[in-house]
Amino acid sequence: MNQNSEIRQALGNCQAAIDLLLEEHRRLQALMQRDRSPAAQSFQLARGHRRDHRKGPATTLVIMVEGKTIAEPQAAAGMVRAIEYIGVARVASLGLRLGGQPLIVRGDEPIERGYHRSGEWWIATHSDTAEKRAILEEVCHRLGLSHSIQQVLRRPAKPKTSADLLAMLNGGAAKRSA
């Protein structure tokens, strides 16, 4: 056999292997698209996935407490700043919980992931934006603070600073409050 025929033979073998792989891929896709069997559901749940979970649009919080406006690109950072402004020890005294964990703990290390450090305190932030808003409203209500908390959509380009976020929200006229 000459070299050209060997190359053609090898290419033919590769094409046959590719065709088999494509057929297997199509068959697996068809199985996945069908109604999920209990076995498939248990496989999915064993991996820690929530069934039919969809992530919502990217949002953040614009928080006004006692006249101070707090706006951060990430809702977690805004929540931490708001709690710091109110007073971490004061909020900790309420004994609130977020996602089954204490909202605020004191110590060298957090008890779980999803906590942000603030001095000697750890503030739980591992929740969706709506839960962060609800907990901040509860804090303000229980402490008798005037407040306004809005959940707003973030634009595709993330603002780099709180001043950028305020500028976006105010249509370009950023006013930074001290």
pTM of the model: 0.59
Distances (CA, A) of 146 to 6, 11, 68, 90, 139: 82, 74, 10, 16, 11
DSSP summary character for residue 108: S
| Statement: residue 53 has pLDDT above 70 | no
Q: Summarize the confidence of residues 139-162 as an average pLDDT.
A: 83
Hey, which residues does 117 pair with through a beta bridge?
A: 122
Convert the pLDDT of each residue in 37-51 to its tens digit.
Answer: 544 444 444 444 455
